[in-house]
Amino acid sequence: MVKKSLCIALLALTTLSSSAQKKEWFNNVKLSGYGMTQYQYSDQKGNKSNSFNLRLFRLVLDGRILNDFYWKAQIQVNGNTSTLGSSPRLVDLFAEWQKYDYFKVKIGEFKRPFTFDNPLHPIDQGFMGVGQVISKLSGFSDRTGEHPSNGRDLGLQVQGDFLKNAAGRNLLHYQIGVFNGQGINTKDVDQRKDIIGGLWVMPVEGLRLGVFGWEGSSARKGNWTDAAGVTHTGEVRSLPKHRYALSGEYKFNDWTLRSEYVHSTGYAFAKALTNTNAQDPNFTNCEVNTALGNKADGFYGLIIAPVIQKKVHVKARYDLYRPTAEWNRSRTQYEVGADYYFHKNFQINVEYARINDRTLAKHNYNMIDVEVDFRF
């Protein structure tokens, strides 16, 4: 039923796009998308894998209204379709007033304004996935137990660029938003809101130095037993969430250097959600994972270097995540790889990773990731 509804909606939007071009108030409508196919190998002891996968497929419809407004709708299909609440699903649906560069207003469902890595296009991000700390502390596979949300939430955001230099280039960017705090396609549970914001300077062309902050909560309505042994049934439980990030990026002559540190304070629910509705067996499970503690952090640093500009690149990334902010449970990925562009919209990526996971009996294992990506 979900697939059928999404297909009908997409067909209707496509039809609309062909006729809307004639109307001045609703223009520049276009249909686009991209796909990411994958082969991945792992020799982790007790959990070996060797599989082809559909990492990601997305269809995008966007356009402008009255010139000042930009809008976007995006549908995602993952390789794992065992839970229809997770795939396919709507990941973006928003409108943004863009009359002024220094003050833009966005409302709907979109990327949380936290870190540099989160908002990047999955293909442009450059590796087999976002950094571990981005995944765990920016709402992809969040440590709080929130259902996978691709770094997105429902809310309202303002952002802008200002302080132009003599060359007309802006030197400062700001962004701040208020969000439900529950991830995509989900109403607020505790009637609180997450406040997320970022500020970065651009002293030279291609260089960004930024700081980000996130104050909010993760909430569920259900059942749990508190520390005093009292059982709560059908009540809302909120877990505070306090996060910050320090970020830097420099892009020049087809080179990319990027690094970020993220820190989080706040407990997590004992069982993670995989679905957005009550079909998930843990939907009302409000127990807290006290063993995990209330702190986590991580860091990554990467470099992407051109061998032939816009054609062939080599790359490396150091990727660390500490789920308890302690070294005895850290997981580190040492990654090297390369990509080749057959066309600006068609490429192949090959990557090798040496993993050191201190929570495993045998800490070290290897991964190989091969992806063919396309856009249209």
Residue ranges making up the domain that contains 216: 2-375
Q: For residues 230 and 239, give the distance between their C-alpha atoms in angstroms, rounded to a whole number.
A: 18
Count CB-CB contacts under 10 A for residue 44: 15
pLDDT at 279: 72
CATH of the domain at 52: 2.40.160.10
CA–CA–CA angle 162, 242, 269 (5° rounding): 135
Lowest mean pLDDT among 132-136, 185-189, 351-355: 185-189
> pLDDT (tens digit, 9 = 90+) per residue, 12-41?
455 545 544 455 667 789 999 999 999 999
> pLDDT (tens digit, 9 = 90+) per residue, 324-349?
999 999 999 999 999 999 999 999 99
pLDDT at 251: 98
Residue 89 confidence class, pLDDT cut points 50, 70, 90:
confident
Q: Which of 288, 282, 219 has its CA nearest to residue 83?
A: 282
Count CB-CB contacts under 10 A for residue 99: 11
> pLDDT (tens digit, 9 = 90+) per residue, 255-311?
999 999 999 999 999 999 987 766 788 889 999 999 999 999 999 999 999 999 999
pTM reported for the whole predicted model = 0.91
Type of residue at 210: G
pLDDT exceeds 60 at position 147: yes
How many separate domains does the chain show? 1
